[in-house]
Amino acid sequence: MSRLLAKALVLVVGAAVIASCSNGSTTSTGNKFSGVTVRVVTFTGPQIAEPLQRRAPDFEKATGAKVQVITVPFSDLYQKVLTDFATKTNSYDATVFDPQWMGDYVPPGYLEDLTDRVQNDSTLQWNDIAPFFRDFSATFKGRVYTIPLDGDFQMVYYRKDLLQKDGLQPPVTWQDYIAIAKHFQGKDLNGDGKADYGSCLAMKRSAQSYWAWISVAAAYLQSQGTKQGAFFNIDNMQPLTNNPAAAAALDVYKQLSKIGPPDQLNNDVGDSRGLFVGGRCALSLDWGDIGTLAIDKTQSKVADKVGAVILPGSKQVLDRSTGQLADCNATLCPYATNGVNHAPFAAFGGWSGAINKASSSKVKDAAFAFLSYMSAPAQSSVDVTIGKTGFNPYRTSHFNNLDTWTKAGMSEQAAKDYLGAIQASLQSPNMVLDLRIPQTAYYQQTALDTALADFLAGNGSVSQTMTRITTQWNAKTDEIGRQSQLDAYKASLSVTK
Amino acid sequence: MKLTRCDQLFLFAPLAILLGGWLVVPALLGLGATLTTYSPLTTTFKFAGWANYSAVIHDPEFGEAVRNVVLFTVIAVPLELAIGFGIAYLLRPPFRGRSWWRALMLLPWLVSPIASGVMWHFLFGSATGVIDFVFGWFGGNQAASPIGDLRLALPTLIAVEVWRVAPFVTFLLVPGLAAVPEERWEQATLAGASTFGRITRVALPAAKPLLLTVGMLLTGLSLGAFDTILILTGGGPGTATLTPALYSYERAFETNDWPIGAASAWLIAAGVIGVGAVYLRLSTRRSAS
């Protein structure tokens, strides 16, 4: 008995020593931000909020900082954060938001300048983030204000099995896209005996249709690199919405509206994604989400049947000196591939983290550490493979490490296709930055989206639609101030002269 | 017992505080804000006069929204009243299980408009559409979703609204019709009245006061139609199903144009107040006669 007691005593003492050692080690590395609470606001999700909430306890264990994730509906997020900052209520220390809003948040000085922090933080591995997100998406007037957590841009998904079977190549131009869509429209694509669709797009009003149109228009409008911009002339802030390039894009968009589900005009992204992963569409245009949804076997009927390519391009682009469409040549389309100008569109820009400048320095340090932790390859390389996070790849390491993708359920070939399309977009020097000037929401969600919805519904010709968008954009620009809007637009493109 | 002035004030005070503090004052502040460039997002603002109202009234999209909501109201409300009244007439005579049927009538109304929108979305949608599925089951061709069709979208929304509201009208009218003394039905029958005659001579006069009240209520609700439409069509295709409430919401919360959103909301309120005034006039005239 006494021997048993002695053994027990040794075990207890041993456990206590181990416990004290481990406590000691936590104390030494885990109390850096002890007692600090960081209030991070983002949208209700579950996407975006989910990884923040899931990883907050681990971050607390590692650093002592308590992260409180506050969620609000997406439609309220912009106003809530801006109101909070403008009224100096400062109930949020950090926000994970749409970087398009930088145009409203940075000029009044609400966001912390993170330029020095990102360069000096080894955990973050800033240079691993793709150049587009570093130099454009996270940057305003040459200074860094956000940490990218998500790589958003649109690309085209296609049914690899169907195209291979019929000897077709993935679309290179928008004319190819239309031809392939027409080829498959009305055929049974998933073996259920019902007619399916050549292409499925989200064209619902007051939803996300305008991004799809910009994805089409970008190929015709921007050919000289990201700094050229695809929305306004950077000399005089005249909209690029009333010219033969915009007309061509409207024409393509109208054709696409007729090659798809009969209720395509009322489909949002949830519908088009559901149709595609349900095997009912040959083509679709979307962010990176379809790639991860397609491998989710609980809902996908197209696992390992999906290919992805950079957004289709155009052999003709807008020559801004003449205002006419012109064939691509080395001068007009310096970044063209085989005479086709591709302009991948970073629609929305990807959820990014920013810090409230008015928070205390200790809280700002902790907030930065949390955002850095979320973006660091160790965490983000896993999060971008999970569909429910809403995060898409944006780091070089996300593309180089196929293991995380195969572990998530993608075949090696599917991962290569998916990541290849993203990489082709990311490496393009002609990527299109989404609009981020004051009242961007009016330009895109009110003026552009409504005009497109009317146009698709048959209310108004191409010419009337272009005039309508241009008139409304110009009126808003003049109302706010043409020069200040031009300055903001150039700042967003990091145009310094 | 006659209440003293002090008693009256005491009893009225809680309601006055509730309505004053949480309705009248904020509403008046909002009304004042529509005459300025005020927005919660800015720290300064200036007097704008009627500019916001002028901008809304001259916006063709708002004109479309008004046209849609007028059509929506003048078609949906009479249909809801007629169908609701018709079913109430059928449920009037006592029969076994009547109370269950009456409770069942309340179900569509109890479903929140948002949930109703989601449900109909899945019924109409081509990805998961039950209607499409049923067509396919019977060997029919694929049915295009009516909410994606420019001509059918508004009529479809009207149908969905009638589905939701008509049974509620029934629920309200059944007790009134059931309370009509049996002799009056018998008198009408003895006088040789047909079913139509019994409805016009007995049922309608009995239900008229309630019909007027319910009609006013439904008209007010229709003028503010929003939730289901937001989910089902978002106002599209084009502007085919846009309503003033949706317009106001989009301006205030999607494009953050607060003054325009608030001004359009007050124009809706003015419309509803106008309907209320007509109702008061009619009910006063009825009381006087």
pLDDT 10s digits, A274-315: 899 999 999 999 998 888 888 887 888 998 899 999 999 999
Q: Looking at A383, A399, A419, which one is the last position of a domain?
A: A419
* pLDDT confidence of residue B4: 87
Partner residues linked to B210 by β-bridges: none
> Smallest Cα–Cα separation from B255: which of A222, A398, A78?
A78
Nearest-by-CA chain B residue for A200: B127
Q: Are residues A130 and A77 in the same domain?
A: yes
pLDDT per residue as tens digits for the range B222-281: 999 999 999 888 898 888 999 999 999 988 887 778 889 999 999 999 998 998 898 888
Does a structural domain hold residue A481?
yes
Residues B198-230 have pLDDT tens digits of 888 899 998 988 998 999 999 999 999 999 999
**What does the pLDDT look like over B164-173, one tens digit per residue?**
999 999 999 9
Q: Are residues A99 and A49 in the same domain?
A: yes
Q: Which has the minimum average pLDDT: A19-23, A389-393, B247-251?
A: A19-23
Same domain, A333 and A364: no
Range A176-183 average pLDDT: 98
Report the gap between the CA of B14 and the closest CA in chain A (Å): 32
Residue A308 bridge partners (DSSP)? A157
Residue A22 pLDDT exceeds 60: no
Q: Nearest CA to CA, how far is B59 from chain A (Å)?
A: 11
Residue A80, in any domain of the structure:
yes
Chain B closest CA to A450's CA: distance in Å?
7
Residues A404, A454 within the same domain: no
Q: Could you write out the three-class secondary structure of B29-53?
A: HHHHHCCECCCCCCCCCCECCCHHH
Report CB contact under 8 Å: A79, B40.
Answer: yes
Residue B234 and residue A204: Cβ atoms within 8 Å?
A: yes
Query: For residue A413, what are its two tokens?
Result: 């070939």
Q: What is the pLDDT of residues B64-115, one digit of tens each?
A: 999 999 999 999 999 999 999 999 999 888 888 888 888 888 899 998 888 9
Helix, strand, or coil (residue B116): helix
For residue B241, give the chain A residue with the closest CA: A205
- Which is nearest to A494 in space by CA: A424, A431, A422? A431
Could you tell me if A404 and A445 lie in one domain?
no
The DSSP code for A269 is H
Domain that holds residue A161: 155-346+428-492
Q: Is the pLDDT of residue B159 over 70?
A: yes
Who among B143, B235, B255 is closest to A205 (CB)? B235
Residues of chain A in contact with residue B120, where contact means CB-CB under 8 angstroms, are none
A183 and A271, same domain (yes or no): yes
Asked if A257 and A394 sit in the same domain, the reply is: no
Q: Is residue A11 part of a domain?
A: no
A352 is a domain residue: yes
Is the residue at A24 inside a domain?
no
Which among A369, A392, A419 is the end of a domain? A419
Last residue of one domain, picked from the residues A363, A398, A419? A419
Number of domains in chain A: 2
B83 min Cα distance to partner chain A (Å)? 29
Contact B150 A82 (CB under 8 A): no
Q: What is the reported pLDDT for A224?
A: 96
Taking the CA of residue B51 and the nearest CA in chain A, the distance in Å comes to 13
Domains detected in chain B: 56-288 (1.10.3720.10)
Domain match, A175 and A187 both:
yes
| Average pLDDT of the residues in A85-106 | 91
Interface residues from chain A to B (CB-CB < 8 Å): 75-76, 78-79, 82-83, 86-87, 104, 194-195, 204-207, 261-268, 271, 274-275, 278, 280, 439, 441-442, 445-446, 450, 453-454, 456-459
Q: Please check whether residues A310 and A221 belong to one and the same domain.
A: yes
Model confidence at A27, in pLDDT bands (50, 70, 90)? very low
Residue A40, SS3 per DSSP: strand
Which chain B residues contact residue A87 at CB under 8 A? 40, 43
DSSP state string for B240-270:
TT--HHHHHHIIIIIS--HHHHHHHHHHHHH
Query: In chain A, whose CA is at the least distance from the CA of B257?
Result: A442
A342, part of any domain:
yes
The whole-angstrom distance between A77's CA and the closest CA on chain B is 10
Give the model confidence (pLDDT) of A325-371 as tens digits: 999 999 999 999 999 999 999 998 899 999 999 999 999 999 999 99
CATH of residue A138:
3.40.190.10
Residue A30 banded pLDDT, cuts 50, 70, 90:
low
**pLDDT at A32 > cutoff 60:** yes
| CA neighbours closer than 13 Å in the CB half-sphere of residue A138 | 29
Q: Is residue A164 part of a domain?
A: yes
Q: Give A-chain residues touching B41 at CB under 8 angstroms.
A: 79, 82-83, 86, 104
Average pLDDT, chain A: 89
Two tokens, residue A491 = 């700042």
Sort out which chain B residues have CB atoms less than 8 A from A266's CB and list them.
145, 147-148, 153, 232-233, 236-237
Partner residue opposite B255 with nearest CB, options A86, A194, A445: A445
Number of A/B CB contacts below 8 angstroms equals 116
Test B148 with A450 for CB contact under 8 angstroms: no
Contact A274 B127 (CB under 8 A): yes
CA distance A274 to chain B (A): 7
- Tens digit of each residue's pLDDT (9 = 90 or more) over A416-436: 888 888 888 888 999 999 999
C-alpha to C-alpha distance for B207 and B185, rounded to whole angstroms: 14
User: Do A258 and A317 sit in the same domain of this protein?
Assistant: yes
d(CA A154, CA A209) in angstroms, rounded, equals: 12
CA distance to A51, A403, B32, B223, per residue, from A384 (Å): 10, 13, 48, 45
Residue A7: inside a domain: no
Q: What count of other Cβ atoms lies within 10 Å of the Cβ of residue B187?
A: 13
pLDDT at A18: 43
Comparing A56 with B285, which gets the higher pLDDT? Answer: A56
Is 0.90 exceeded by the ipTM?
no
Facing residue for A206 by CB, picked from B143, B147, B234: B234
Strands A432-433 and A345-346: parallel
Which of A266, A272, A301 is best to mutate for the B interface (most B CBs within 10 A)? A266
Q: Are residues A394 and A375 in the same domain?
A: yes
The per-residue pLDDT for range B128-151, each reduced to its tens digit, is 677 777 776 776 666 677 887 888
Do A324 and A366 share a domain, yes or no?
no
User: Mutation test of the interface with chain A: which of B128, B149, B250, B260, choosing the one with the most A Cβ atoms within 10 A?
Assistant: B250
Find, among A448, A456, A455, A450, the residue nearest to A232 by Cα: A448
Question: In chain A, which residues have their Cβ closer than 8 Å to the Cβ of B254?
Answer: 75, 206, 441, 445-446
From A78, A195, A450, residue closest to B61, measured CB to CB: A450
Confidence label for A177 from pLDDT (cuts 50, 70 and 90): very high
